[in-house]
Chains A and B, each alone.
Chain A
Amino acid sequence: MSQGEYVAAAYGVVFIALLVYVAIIAAKLARLERETAELAELARTRCGDV
Chain B
Amino acid sequence: MTNSVPALAALAAALVGVAIAFAFFVAPEDADQGISQRIFYFHVPIALTAYACFGWGAYKGLLLLWRKDERNDLESYVAIHQGTIFGSLTLLTGSIWAKASWGHWWLWSENQLVLFLVLFLFYSAYFMLRFSIEEGPRRANISAVYALFGVVLIPVSFLAIRLAENIIHPTVFTRDGPQMTGVMFLTFCIAWLAMSVLAYALYRLELLGKRLDSNLRELRELLT
| Residues of chain A contacted by B209 (CB below 8 angstroms) | 25, 28-29, 32
Closest Cβ–Cβ distance, residue A27 to chain B (whole Å): 11
Closest Cβ–Cβ distance, residue B99 to chain A (whole Å): 6
Q: A7-B38, A17-B88 are in contact. List 19 more A-B contacts (CB 8 A).
A: A3-B36, A4-B35, A6-B100, A7-B36, A9-B96, A10-B39, A11-B20, A11-B39, A14-B46, A14-B93, A17-B85, A17-B89, A25-B205, A28-B209, A32-B213, A32-B216, A36-B216, A39-B220, A46-B223
Task: Give bound CA distance, A32 to B117, whole Å.
Answer: 35
Task: Give bound CA distance, A34 to B179, whole Å.
Answer: 53
Which of A3, A21, A32, A36 counts the most B-chain CB atoms under 10 A from its CB? A3
| B100-A39 in contact (CB<8A) | no
Q: A25-B209, A46-B223 are in contact. Are A14 and B42 (CB under 8 A)?
A: yes
Size bracket, chain A contacts: 20 to 34
Which chain A residues have a beta carbon within 8 Å of chain B's beta carbons?
Answer: 1, 3-4, 6-7, 9-11, 13-14, 17, 21, 25, 28-29, 32, 35-36, 39, 42-43, 46
Interface SS of chain A: helix, strand, loop or mixed?
helix
Which residues from 165 to 224 on chain B have a C-beta closer than 8 Å to any C-beta of chain A? 202, 205-206, 209, 212-213, 216, 219-220, 223-224
